[in-house]
């Protein structure tokens, strides 16, 4: 029998906090969602979100950086925005809340129908225009009959390919969370939803303007900084407690994986010294769990030597 916890937990119990909200739509911001039942793999109990959408998952056996896996997120009339979230590993943290986004099924179907209708209309209108141009070129002798047939066949194939993608495209844009889009992304998505593909294409090109990229990356950089800070704290804690590494090899392996992701973040930002420091900590953990002469240790040593060049 499922026991539902309230969220007043013992302050000493490691707890993963989080919240569930609906996705934002063009003219309808997302709202916090109460009454959502959440269950984790390996946990005997489920929790239900408050009216504020908040939830607390107490996990006495978990440490910072451990893997947690959602096996069920349920509320009648709703489904997950990201259906791949179930079964995917998340990082346990008492500091970083877990955000779960859900979609109102009635709203989803209405949005999909609207987007599909606009896409079909645009595709058919553009197809007819291009066919008319080809026919005019043929009649005026600007192209040969053979060229006309070849280009018409190519146009028909592209039209059919596009039509076959409309369902998936509509589903993707109907699941877009407008609360997480900046003003440019919002405008691009609105154009796509309304079938204004040429305008969307023009806007997409402005994304690559250097000043635009700089502005759009500021928020992303802050998010990366927080993620790096958390990962670094987990790695430092693991290195300070060698005995814990020996007691829990799975924990050590997850720390190594987290370290490898962090190293890539540092290298992407040009932080070579920090990447080297992280690699050397990985090396220390690998020596403990695999031995001095293991292949993993040799590969990491080689990476360190290459970075030092």
User: Do 216 and 281 sit in the same domain of this protein?
Assistant: yes
- Identify the domain boundary among 103, 133, 154: 103
Instruction: Kindly report the backbone phi and psi dihedral angles of residue 183, in degrees, each rounded to the nearest multiple of 5, phi listed first.
Output: -60, -35
- Identify the domain boundary among 162, 179, 205: 205
DSSP 116-177: HHHHHHHHHHHHHHHHHHHHHHHHTTSS-HHHHHHHHHHHHHHHHHHHHHHHHHHHHHHT--
**Predicted structure pTM score:** 0.58
User: Do 99 and 8 sit in the same domain of this protein?
Assistant: yes
- pLDDT of 270 reads 77
User: Do 114 and 63 sit in the same domain of this protein?
Assistant: no
User: Do 174 and 120 sit in the same domain of this protein?
Assistant: yes
User: Do 92 and 138 sit in the same domain of this protein?
Assistant: no
- pLDDT of 260 reads 78
Question: Structure tokens of 279?
Answer: 């690699």
- pLDDT of 212 reads 43
**CATH number where 28 lies:** 2.60.40.1120
CA separation for the pair 229, 89 (Å, rounded)? 20
User: Do 111 and 133 sit in the same domain of this protein?
Assistant: yes
Q: Minimal CA–CA distance to 66: which of 42, 99, 90, 46?
A: 90
User: Do 229 and 301 sit in the same domain of this protein?
Assistant: yes
pLDDT along the chain (309 residues), means of 10: 42 85 90 95 84 91 84 95 86 87 95 88 89 94 93 90 82 86 75 74 55 45 55 65 66 74 76 86 82 86 88
User: Do 194 and 118 sit in the same domain of this protein?
Assistant: yes
Contact yes or no for 170/115 (Cβ under 8 A)? yes
- Identify the domain boundary among 61, 87, 103: 103
User: Do 86 and 113 sit in the same domain of this protein?
Assistant: no
User: Do 243 and 199 sit in the same domain of this protein?
Assistant: no
- pLDDT of 233 reads 65
Domain interval for residue 90: 4-103
DSSP 178: G
Tally of domains within the chain: 3
User: Do 24 and 86 sit in the same domain of this protein?
Assistant: yes
User: Do 223 and 280 sit in the same domain of this protein?
Assistant: yes
């Amino acid at each position: 029998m499922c026991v539902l916890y309230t969220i007043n937990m013992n302050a000493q119990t490691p707890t993963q906090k989080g919240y569930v909200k609906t996705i934002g739509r063009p003219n309808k911001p997302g709202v916090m969602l109460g009454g959502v039942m959440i269950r984790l793999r390996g946990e005997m109990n489920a929790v239900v979100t408050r009216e504020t959408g908040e939830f607390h998952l107490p996990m006495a056996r978990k440490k910072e950086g451990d893997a947690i896996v959602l096996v069920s997120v349920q509320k009648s009339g709703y489904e997950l925005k990201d259906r791949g979230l179930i079964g995917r590993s998340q990082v346990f943290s008492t500091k970083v809340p877990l955000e779960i986004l859900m979609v109102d099924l009635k709203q989803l179907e209405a949005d999909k129908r609207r987007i599909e209708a606009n896409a079909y209309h645009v595709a058919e209108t553009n197809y007819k225009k291009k066919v008319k141009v080809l026919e005019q070129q043929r009649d005026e002798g600007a192209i040969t009959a053979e060229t006309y047939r070849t280009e018409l066949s190519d146009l028909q194939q592209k039209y059919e390919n596009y039509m076959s993608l409309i369902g998936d495209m509509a589903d993707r844009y109907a699941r877009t969370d407008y609360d997480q889009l900046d003003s440019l992304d919002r405008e691009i998505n609105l154009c796509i939803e309304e079938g204004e593909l040429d305008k969307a294409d023009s806007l997409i090109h402005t994304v690559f303007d250097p000043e635009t990229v700089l502005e759009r990356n500021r928020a992303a950089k802050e998010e990366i900084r927080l993620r790096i800070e958390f990962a670094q704290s987990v790695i430092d804690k693991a290195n300070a407690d060698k005995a814990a590494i020996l007691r829990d090899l799975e924990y050590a392996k997850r720390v190594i994986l987290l370290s490898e992701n962090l190293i890539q973040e540092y290298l992407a930002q040009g932080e070579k010294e920090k990447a080297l420091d992280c690699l050397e900590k990985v090396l220390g953990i690998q020596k403990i769990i695999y031995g001095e002469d293991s292949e993993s240790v040799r590969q990491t040593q080689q990476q360190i030597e290459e970075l030092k060049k």
